[in-house]
Structure 1
């Protein structure tokens, strides 16, 4: 595994809170993530995570490595973004949040074509019915129903929806 991929993987594991969550986002098997983290720990000669069967947390070495790895990952992403702007090819992680029903109806059908047209883009889907802090959650796009309350956010109407309540005499 190259250094860039190693740093990116480690940062994802820390930020997602588990090997399996990072694996889902990165499209890897959890066992592959665990193996790659083990290789990184072997290269560094230090244990980065304290693990139990129920929980994992950063070790002291892991906290130190994370601070540096986070900055390195951000710099690498900035470099990729800058180059992508030059070439016009979108790349990076696009974080999208949507209500589960909306995601099923709107996002799922178009994802395969979008990803085939933009192979350097990775999609991180967050399913939630609650309004999230987009800045704090580092969310690029939120798809919600209803009116946008006073906000500095920009909203675009993408479709009309009508509800119909039906009942039988019983």
Structure 2
């Protein structure tokens, strides 16, 4: 099945009058553009463009398809623009949940600078030590510590978080100094 990218590539080939120029415009390899065009023609069971080494020319079916698809792609881009999806300005509401210590240590020191850089973005923080389900609690982003258990979520490491374990000398005298992780777990 073809997709929107295939249709956009077809439009680019027609409007740039060739595969090489369309590839440059889309930031793709000429082979990828040619593959997308061939896939589209195969799915539609028709020839859309006649091509030789120097130029492309629309077939009669290609002319009809170009007119219809061009209007559809333009309407789709207009719809995306009207909801801000293609806007280069970062705006809207961003809901973020995180533990309090992350907020105070990492976010607060940079918050003023961030808000100055993105004045049209509203931030709504849910600061809690409790695990928040991103979907159920309508959060856009969750800042977590440790391994991500839910493989359905996307993750990106944003900072190293070094920890130091400390104990009072009186505790060590009473409980003993653990020499490995198993012994340390027994202290919990």
Normalised TM-score (structure 1): 0.49
Q: Which has the higher contact order (CA 8 A, sep 6+)?
A: 1
Normalised TM-score (structure 2): 0.44
When Rg is computed on C-alpha atoms for both structures, the one with the higher figure is 2
